[in-house]
Structure 1
Amino acid sequence: MLFSRHTYVERRKQLRELVGNGLILLFGNNDSPMNYPANAYKFRQDSSFLYFFAQHREGLVGVIDADSGKETLVGNEIDIDDIIWYGSVESVGDLAAQAGVENHAPMAKLQDMVSEAIKAGRRVHYLPQYRHDIKIQLADILGTHPNSLEPSLDLINAVVKLRSVKSAEEIEEIERACEIGYQMHTTAMRLCRPGVTEQYISGVISGIAASYGCITSFQSIVSMHGEVMHGYPSPRPLEAGRLLLCDAGAETNENYCSDHTRTTPISGKFTQKQKEIYSIVSDCHDLALDVAKPGVRYYDVHMDVCRLMTDRLKELGLMRGDTEAAVAAGAHALFLPHGLGHMMGMDVHDMEGLGQIHVGYDEETRPSTQFGTNALRMGRRLQEGFVVTDEPGIYFIPALIDLWRTNGTNAEFLNFDKIEEYKDFGGIRIEDDVLITKDGCRFLGENRVPYHIDDVEQFLADRD
């Protein structure tokens, strides 16, 4: 367990109080076969189960009776066949005791617990499920079809409320992930030379995470085609004069994540054209750091970034017209079709599986339906203890440029003739993990991956 037993006891107490009544089910994950049952992916526990019940073993379910306060860890004991192949492990009772749970039971008893609650007319609370084996198990227990499951909004809101604000212990673990991320990204920058392949760089940085006993927090994006949001690495060798976008992070043994992006000139120095676009992105990145603080909506930080980006693109002749009108019309989204950032913690897009509308939005701040802004995952007011990403970017997506030009989309604000000159440019993104503090915000991680133009070029010069 990462934290003290008291931490998990207190978390479950707060959850029970927030939900108020009924039976709460928190499912852990099972092993996930890759291509046949005995060849499984590396086990990854469900984040919410881990947050409240602490244990990494597969095949467990946490049950909390919100009325009586009774807590039970449900799971089957291992048998001799398991011991032969995997060694002895602690009993379910031992695991329960470590997390401060007084009761434990075999999996067959879960059906009885749920049936008794339903028979008594009590609510059964569960979260949205993302693995089909758990969906089927839960549907069987409830006597319904997997497609008819109705997660508890009360439980979702309670989990989001508790997991959104990170404790000092959690922040320390995220910073550990950021330090591994620093090693990954500075290594990628050192390797970024003509002739080296995208896949080689991706493999090396994944190996760095593995060398710490960790995994990458998501499939690394390593590509000369930075205009592709999820440009996964290919066997292509890097080409002089182009840019390499690397979006990657580490996930610690206790499943806290980092998420950074850097865009590196493959030749070691930015061209003038690249400098002009890169400087806009780095200034937008730094503007967010100046503006983000408790009480400010992240939606408004995003829009401040969009205004600055529009002003600067106008200076280059790529945009035109009134900045406020252009941003209101969504013209900037041709270059920035995603949001400024997202929550981060035990999931790299923290709690996104619970429904982004519940995590990044609330009754005051609702999601936009406008192209580009509709991809903003985090819009609500910031609070001290939130961890968010700051990741502006500028992308030249040929198919999107052609579509907008053909349809005349936002033509009054876009100079398509000038934009044509950038269709082979690619894309630039700069991303860091940010903690909202009492008075503002700060970077997470002791070391900073270089990102200002002079620092990047100096770092690349010093590697030789």
Structure 2
Amino acid sequence: MFNSTVYIQRRAVLRKKFHTGILLFLGNGESPMNYAHNPYHFRQDSSFLYYFGINDPDLIAVVDLDEDCEMVFGAEMSIDDLVWMGRQELLQDKCAKTGITRLASPDKLQGYLKQAKQKGREIHFLPPYRAENKITLSRLLDLNVHQVTDFSSTDLVKAVVAQRSVKAVEEIAELDKAAAISADIQLMVMQTAKPGMYEREIAAEIQAAALRSGGNLAYPVILTVNGEILHNYYRGNILKEGKLVLNDCGVETAMGYAGDLTRTFPVSKKFTLDQKEVYDVVLNAYRHASGMLAPGVRYLDIHLESCKQLVLGLKDMGLMKGDAADAVAEGAHTLFFQCGTGHMMGLDVHDMEDLGEQFVGYTDDLKKNTTKFGLKSLRMGKALEAGYVMTVEPGIYFNRELLDRYRLAGDFSEFINYEAVEKFRDFGGIRIEDDFLVLETGARMLGKHLAITTAEIEQIREESH
């Protein structure tokens, strides 16, 4: 946990956005894999962590504006818990560390909320993303389980997003730490990957390194020789000479803050000429995008410029043609780049995505395009502010299924040289990604330098063989 004053101040800031009612925060519970006592790795709800800091399951917290009180509803360990889990820190003491002095039994919450509703008091809650929390809210507030999300509080969502988006000093330190550890792991992978290894062997080492750091993985490892598949979790392939390895992985610190880095490197000691040429196109787009990061700049414009740079590079390679800006406007670049250039980061690797991408990445005046291929995957479009933490992650992906579909339909033939692209059918994909903090002017990369040019990566691969 941070110092108690951090959580007290966070809640105080939130309280100022509301004049009356109850702010209700559900923590997460244990989620069984195949039976109740064999759960998945526990991960606390990020907004609960942000305001209350307690990383225990089955807790619910309220900020009661009318009664001017804050309390946590949860149970101390039972004798069975003590037998199976051993003596842990008292929940009452954990609450005190976040400035909460009132702890109530969970069975008191329903009556507490019922009385509030009878008095006509508004109960604000965030949209639930877990089915069990949706059921809990349905029971506590006497709502149809299928309509719970409809009754969630837009005002609370907007207030939480505004507050969590701008990272405080203590958060930046955690995010720097997550990025630095993630960079160390990325370097370890480049140093140890060898022809003949299974992808899963390397993924296992990444998992082990994350645990050794005192934290865990921020998301499942994407370690693949088929980098054209954006989120490829299959790890049964063998590394072979001449192929590329795309490694997208990040550590979550013990405090819950995420890192998210990607590097692509050759299985061999060196990139082939084609691999190097495509890599440099991606690197150029990365440098343009990261160089644009600054307060007031719309991330949508950064994304479009990054796409334009990809098109210009692909034109130089003979794979695309025509005006680059027109190609991007029409969506021709999506044959090679189907996703967004980046997203916000913090306590979630896709920060606050559970609260809705329109609220997190866009504004009332800038609506997300939810239908156009490519743009519908851009999680962030609005103007940046100092204190935002963003990823920059352009890529080029030669997806065979997409190539066949576009070519058969004759899509974007005025922009794409299909005969030339066909030679890259089995190329795979390349992504380069780092995490950045937006400053009052410009931005800085979080963590530490990690080999990024083909020369740097080839030197590492040469020394590792």
TM-score by length of 2: 0.97
Bigger drift between 89-98 and 125-134 goes to 89-98
Measured in 2, the distance between the counterparts of 1:455 and 1:251 equals: 26
Residue 286 of structure 1 pairs with residue 287 of structure 2? yes
Shift of 1:213: 2.5
Aligned to 2:464: 463
Alignment of 1:315-354 (within 5 A): 315-354=316-355
Q: Which residue of 1 aligns with 2:407?
A: 405
Q: Which residue number in structure 2 is paired with residue 39 of structure 1?
A: 38
CA distance in 2, matches of 1:186, 1:300: 31
8 Å CA contact retained: 1:202, 1:233: no
* Cα displacement (A) at 1:360: 0.7
Q: Which residue of 2 aligns with 1:216?
A: 217
Following the alignment from structure 2 to structure 1, what is the Cα–Cα distance between the partners of residues 114 and 140? 8
Q: CA deviation at 1:151?
A: 1.2
Question: Match of 1:291, as an amino acid?
Answer: M
After superposition, what is the alpha-carbon deviation per residue over 1:135-175, rounded to whole angstroms, capped at 9, x for unaligned? 11111011122211021101111110110000111010111
1:377-406 Cα offsets, whole Å, 9 max, x none, are 111110101001000000011111111111
CA distance in 2, matches of 1:345, 1:183: 19
CA separation of 1:325 and 1:140: change in aligned 2, threshold 3 A: same
Q: Alpha-carbon deviations, 1:310-347, whole Å to 9, x = none?
A: 11111111111112211110111111100000010100
1:419–1:20 distance in 2 versus 1, CA, 3 Å:
farther
Identity of matched residues, %: 42
- 1:259-296 deviation digits (Å, cap 9, x = unpaired): 00010111020111011100000111111121110110
Provide Cα deviations, 1:177-214, integer angstroms capped at 9, x if missing partner.
11221221111111222101100000001100011232
Q: Per-residue deviation at 1:132?
A: 1.7
Q: Given residue 57 of structure 1, which amino acid in structure 2 is its aligned partner?
A: D
Partner of 1:429: 431
- Name the structure 2 match of 1:236: 237
1 CA distance for matches of 2:20 and 2:419?
A: 62
The secondary structure found in structure 1 opposite 2:77 is coil
Between 1:181-190 and 1:202-211, the stretch displaced more is: 181-190
Comparing 40-49 and 221-230, the one that deviates more: 40-49
Runs of 4+ in structure 1 deviating by more than 4 angstroms, as ranges, are none
Structure-2 residue corresponding to 1:98: 97
Q: Distance in 2 between matches of 1:288 and 1:324?
A: 16
| Residue correspondence of structure 1 range 245-394 to structure 2 within 5 A | 245-368=246-369, 369-394=371-396
Shift of residue 66 of structure 1?
A: 2.6
Structure 1 residue 83 displacement after superposition: 0.8
Question: For 2:16, what is the secondary structure of its paired residue?
Answer: helix
Corresponding residue of 1:438: 440
2:268–2:461 Cα contact (<8 Å) kept: no
- In structure 1, give the amino acid aligned to 2:450: V
Counting only pairs closer than 5 Å after superposition, residues 40-189 of structure 1 correspond to structure 2 as: 40-149=39-148, 150-189=151-190
Secondary structure of the structure 2 residue equivalent to 1:264: strand
Residue pair 1:192, 1:264 contacting (<8 A) in 2 also: no
Structure 1 residue 235: Cα displacement: 2.3
Consecutive unaligned residues in structure 1, runs of 5 or more:
none
Matched letter for residue 271 of structure 1: T
Letter in 1 for 2:54: Q
Does the 8 Å contact 1:16/1:69 carry over to 2?
no
- The whole-number CA distance in structure 2 between the counterparts of 1:370 and 1:19 is 37
RMSD of aligned alpha carbons: 1.2
* Contact 1:157-1:358 at 8 Å conserved across structures: yes
Secondary structure of 2:343's partner? coil
Q: What is the number of residues matched between the two proteins?
A: 462
For residues 87-141 of structure 1, give each alpha carbon's deviation from its aligned partner in whole angstroms, at most 9, with x where no partner exists: 2233333222221123221001111221111111111111111222221111101
| TM-aligned CA deviation for residue 462 of structure 1 | 2.5
Asked if the contact 1:390–1:431 (Cα under 8 Å) also holds between the matched residues in 2, the reply is yes
SS of structure 2 residue aligned to 1:36: coil
Deviating more after overlay: 257-266 vs 19-28 = 19-28
| Contact 2:192 2:464 (8 Å CA) reproduced | no
Quote the Cα distance in structure 2 between the aligned partners of 1:310 and 1:171.
34
Q: Identify which range, 15-24 or 271-280, moves more after superposition.
A: 15-24
* Equivalent residues of 1:259, 1:389 under 8 A apart: yes
- For 1:19 and 1:435, how far apart are their aligned partners in 2? 29
Q: Which shows bigger deviation, 87-96 or 403-412?
A: 87-96
8 Å contact from structure 1 (residues 242, 266) kept in 2: yes
Secondary structure at the counterpart of residue 35 of structure 1: coil
- The CA distance in 1 between the partners of 2:68 and 2:324, in whole Å, is 56
Aligned equivalents of 1:134 and 1:16: distance in 2?
23
Residue type matched to 2:124 in 1?
A: H
* Shift, 1:238, TM fit: 0.3
Match of 1:449 in 2: 450
